[in-house]
Structure 1
Amino acid sequence: MVTGPAPTAARRSVEEVRERVAAVPDPELPVIGLGDLGVVRSVATGADGVIEVEITPTYLGCPGMAAITSAVRDVLTACGHPDGRVRQVLSPPWTTDRITPEGRRTLLAHGIAPPVSPAPDGPVAVEVGGVPCPHCGSRATRPHSPFGPSRCQSMLWCTACREPFPHLTAL
């Protein structure tokens, strides 16, 4: 019996790598992929021909970054790019404005109130009431705890349906 080196995966295009990296679930919010969360900054081929993935943590000291980096490296290897690089980019910092509309819908569908984004160019909207409850839609909500299921979340309480819910803290 002759054995040789393990077969390598066929090299996938940058676009396919980008799609697969974007679909990697966030370790602290596994209902949303890194792409919709806005953590993936870029996926491109460097001057040396090696694919490089740039990611931005949701905040400095994010405990999920080691798991994210490892998962992205696994995608690169599975896509035939074991030499690919994963780089953390801190500037400009991540903000909740990077969450895609689909990502916001996903969070809401899973009972996590997404942060409210300000209008990009125009007057600041004045909203009556609190953050909308993901269960009943009421704005009759109030803070329950500054600590939530993960470090980037707090807990709110809906006085209408009496349900607590996590809220992704706006940065």
Structure 2
Amino acid sequence: MVTSTLDRASAYTAAAAVLDPEVPVLTIEDLGVLRAVQVAEDGSVDVTITPTYSGCPAMQTIADDVATALAEAGFGPVRVATVLAPAWSTDWMSEDGRRKLSEYGIAPPSPPSPTTGDRRNGPVQLTLGRRPELVACPQCGSTRTRELSRFGSTACKALWQCESCHEPFDHFKAI
């Protein structure tokens, strides 16, 4: 049996539609967690995913959901590999994903800028100090916001509050 581009595209579409269990408005494609989908001649599928940070508790659930989605689409057996390199950064997140976060009430991370560059193909630079971020409130749009806690509802988010509408909100940390 020779696999076709259509088989790979169908497998990729099925895997890409899997929702992130921690932020269920984002697919793993929106988030940039889905790295590769390959269909072998025997019909088996190899999927590569990467965590948003090492030790992310959602990875096993994502792997199980990918395997289920591909089985329901008629593919199998499925092997899901988790890779740590290249390291995930918020640069992997799609513009559609950033929009979905904002509509869901989570302030999205800033897109890549000339100062940060695109961190998808190189090392992710870590800093010891935090630079002040300009984070817009997803409720009212004000940038008069402040960080309340570096830790939000999940490890990849921080808790912020708007000083205009006084609403607390999660901010997806830029990495």
> What is the one-letter code of the residue matched to 2:64?
S
Structure 2, gaps ≥5 residues long? 1-5, 117-131
Cα distance change, pair 91–46 in 1 and its aligned pair in 2 (3 A): farther
Counterpart of 2:152 in structure 1 is 148
Cα distance change, pair 18–56 in 1 and its aligned pair in 2 (3 A): same
Structure 1, gaps ≥5 residues long? 1-11
Look up the SS of the partner of 1:150 in the other structure. Answer: coil
Look up the SS of the partner of 1:136 in the other structure. Answer: coil
Any conservation in 2 of the 1:17–1:75 contact (CA below 8 Å)? no
Identity of aligned residues (%): 43
From 140, 143, 155, the equivalent of 1:139 is 143
CA distance in 2, matches of 1:154, 1:170: 10
1:80 aligns to 2:84 (yes or no): no
Shift in Å, 1:80: 2.0
From 94, 118, 121, the equivalent of 1:100 is 94
Cα distance change, pair 100–46 in 1 and its aligned pair in 2 (3 A): same
Shift in Å, 1:22: 1.1
Any conservation in 2 of the 1:56–1:88 contact (CA below 8 Å)? yes
Q: Kindly provide the CA deviation profile for residues 12-52 of structure 1, in whole angstroms up to 9, marking residues without a partner as x.
A: 82212211211111011111111101000011224765321
Shift in Å, 1:123: 5.0
Look up the SS of the partner of 2:70 in the other structure. Answer: helix
Any conservation in 2 of the 1:138–1:158 contact (CA below 8 Å)? yes
Shift in Å, 1:129: 7.0
Any conservation in 1 of the 2:51–2:59 contact (CA below 8 Å)? yes
Structure 1 residues 139-148 or 79-88, which shifts more?
A: 79-88
- After TM superposition, where is structure 1 displaced by more than 3 Å over at least 4 residues in a row? 46-49
CA distance in 2, matches of 1:165, 1:117: 19
Look up the SS of the partner of 2:137 in the other structure. Answer: coil
CA distance in 2, matches of 1:83, 1:48: 9
Any conservation in 1 of the 2:11–2:73 contact (CA below 8 Å)? yes
CA RMSD across the alignment = 1.9
CA distance in 2, matches of 1:118, 1:99: 10
TM-score, normalized by length of structure 1?
Answer: 0.84
Any conservation in 2 of the 1:57–1:88 contact (CA below 8 Å)? yes
From 19, 29, 32, the equivalent of 1:35 is 29
TM-score, normalized by length of structure 2?
Answer: 0.82
Look up the SS of the partner of 2:158 in the other structure. Answer: strand
CA distance in 2, matches of 1:81, 1:129: 44
Counterpart of 2:103 in structure 1 is 109
Look up the SS of the partner of 1:91 in the other structure. Answer: coil
